[in-house]
Amino acid sequence: MRYIIIGAGAVGGVIGGRLAGSGHEVVLVARGAHFEALRDHGLRLRVPEGELTHRLPVVDGPAALGELRPDDVLVLAVKTQDSVAALQTWGPAPVAGGGTAAERLPLFCAQNGVEGQRIALRLFRRVHGVCVWLPSTYVEPGVVSAAGSPLTGILHLGRHPHGTDETARLVAADLEKSHFEAPVVADVARWQYAKLLSNLGNALEAVTGPVSDEDALALLRRVRAEGAAVLDAAGIAYASTEEQQALRGDKVTLVPLDGAPRGGGSSWQSLTRGTGTIEADYLNGEIALLGRLHGVPTPLNELLQHLADTFARERRAAGSMPVAELMRLADGAVVNTG
């Protein structure tokens, strides 16, 4: 199998680099300065064993590859807000022997949240969900890092909306030779919704910085409790904290990396890079949507969604809102909802 990593940033770059390091054929898809750095200098992957450089084919779209191969596996690793454009670009790509990528090739959605795979299923016939437990960072163009040890990450795989298949098992086997644990499960969404609850703090971290003082931690607990109440009201199953901890244990322990400090999660990184977009609409916004559908107020998640979107749109600095100011806004949002 050949892996085509659509979006070779923090998550995609690490997955692609680790697969390449274990001998698998990998093509990276990127754009702008990142594309140029990957093309000219290779993918530089900073991990606990050092900096690894992988000279891999890099393209900015399917045209550069000509006809895709029947054994290609597409890994969608762009942020959810970029999914439609990526899928519309790659879906019509011709595959040798006839048909298109959307008709014939498997697509694995290695993304936060749950919406990306629903978007994909509108175009692609063979969609797989991936629950991404992979602490990683886009350091600079051409350079990504992953500080987890002894494993780089844990990636649950399954068909969307449910079930498993031989492709998932083959991909899992490749990942497990590449510094990942990759359980194949029939209920991958249950793990993704659990991860969604943990990702509700991404916007909080993005706007106020590291969530470390008691006020911020207390607010985070309230935000996640709001999310859990919504999932319960919607009848959506999710893995418990105890089940997640039992599976993960100390398999992905973060260690300091020279030249690759981990400043924050994916939303924090989006603000730091000044991309102009952020994935809060598909994290906190997913909870807001479900809350409206099922009659559950979600003032704290709505507030964080709004603030994260505002910070991204106005390109405000990550972590620049004092926690005290956010707490005041949160209290006001709850009062107004009541």
Q: What is the pLDDT of residues 195-215, one digit of tens each?
A: 999 999 999 999 999 998 999
For the chain, the residue count is: 338
If we measure between CA atoms, which residue out of 323, 334, 311 comes closest to residue 226? 334
Distance between CA atoms of 144 and 159, rounded to whole angstroms? 28
Residues (pLDDT < 50) of the chain are: none
pLDDT at 264: 81
- C-beta neighbour count of 301 within 10 angstroms: 28
Q: Measured at the alpha carbon of residue 200, what is the angle toward residues 199 and 206, in degrees to the nearest 5?
A: 85
If we measure between CA atoms, which residue out of 54, 50, 108 comes closest to residue 78? 108
Distance between CA atoms of 48 and 253, rounded to whole angstroms? 10
Q: Are strands 106-110 and 72-76 parallel, antiparallel or unpaired?
A: parallel
Distance between CA atoms of 158 and 191, rounded to whole angstroms? 10
Burial of 270 (0-12, 13-18, 19+ CB in 10 A): buried
User: Which 3 state secondary structure label does DSSP give 155?
Assistant: strand
Q: Are strands 43-47 and 50-54 parallel, antiparallel or unpaired?
A: antiparallel
Distance between CA atoms of 204 and 75, rounded to whole angstroms? 28
pLDDT at 262: 63
pLDDT at 151: 98
Helix (H) or strand (E) holding 47: strand 43-47
